[in-house]
């Protein structure tokens, strides 16, 4: 069953406590969140903390620990730094099977879907930034290593916005490629 993904700007202390209970497996995400929470942290306005289920952050002595949860730190504006840190209780060393495993897998899928939604809903779309940046990069690279006059972009056939950027730059679709993933 699809679960609600909670999205907040800062990690609730209850979530930090929960991740602490899952040490050492949860350490990458826990340290990332603690860094942002600390005095020395450099929390950005673009970062979000996601988790599911909602009870993962319920405070109070009577709040039961959720048997399974997934949490993530997401900063899609982090550029070349790691943009997503994610932890699922599926990772904590216990051998899960059946419904427990399915619950964890569904939670991970729900959090990843929320990240995808965040990427689609970026507030800076449609302001000409991609076109301006592409124009600058193409201008610079044509002097550096594209002296043959050709530029190309690999655009998914269903990516209308990216295709529109290319069209806007006088690009033309020339061929369609099928990719195959070989697991060897």
Ligand X SMILES: CC(C)(COP(=O)(O)OP(=O)(O)OC[C@H]1O[C@@H](n2cnc3c(N)ncnc32)[C@H](O)[C@@H]1OP(=O)(O)O)[C@@H](O)C(=O)NCCC(=O)NCCS
Backbone angles phi, psi at 113, to 5 degrees: -65, -35
Q: Which positions lie near ligand X, rule CB under 6 A?
A: 119, 125-131, 153, 155, 159-162, 164-165, 168
Contact status, residue 105 vs residue 90, Cβ threshold 8 Å: yes
Among candidate residues 39, 35, 43, the one with its CA nearest the CA of residue 19: 35
Smallest distance from ligand X to CB 78, Å: 14
Return the number of the residue (34 or 162) whose C-beta is nearest ligand X.
Answer: 162
Smallest distance from ligand X to CB 134, Å: 8
Smallest distance from ligand X to CB 71, Å: 24
Give the whole-angstrom CA distance, residue 57 versus residue 55.
5
Pairing of strands 84-88, 70-74: antiparallel
Smallest distance from ligand X to CB 42, Å: 24
Return the number of the residue (48 or 131) whose C-beta is nearest ligand X.
Answer: 131
Bond preceding residue 53 cis, omega within 30 of 0: yes
Give, in degrees to the nearest 5, the angle at Cα 109 between 176 and 96: 130
Return the number of the residue (38 or 168) whose C-beta is nearest ligand X.
Answer: 168
Return the number of the residue (157 or 184) whose C-beta is nearest ligand X.
Answer: 157
């Amino acid at each position: 069953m699809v679960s609600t993904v909670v999205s907040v700007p800062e990690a609730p202390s209850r979530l930090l406590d929960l991740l602490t209970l899952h040490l050492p497996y949860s350490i990458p995400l826990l340290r990332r969140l603690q860094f942002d929470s600390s005095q020395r942290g450099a929390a950005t306005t673009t970062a979000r903390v996601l988790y599911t289920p909602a009870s993962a952050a319920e405070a109070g002595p009577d709040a039961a620990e959720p048997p399974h949860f997934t949490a993530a730190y997401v900063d899609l504006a982090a550029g070349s730094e790691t943009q997503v840190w994610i932890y699922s209780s599926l990772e904590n060393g216990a051998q899960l099977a059946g419904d427990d495993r399915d619950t964890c897998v569904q939670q991970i899928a729900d959090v990843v879907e929320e990240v995808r939604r965040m990427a689609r809903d970026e507030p800076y779309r449609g302001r000409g930034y991609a076109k301006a940046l592409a124009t600058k990069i193409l201008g610079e690279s044509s002097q550096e290593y594209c002296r043959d006059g050709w530029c190309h972009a690999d655009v998914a056939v269903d990516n209308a916005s990216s295709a529109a950027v290319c069209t806007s730059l006088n690009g033309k679709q020339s061929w369609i490629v099928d990719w195959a993933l070989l697991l060897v």
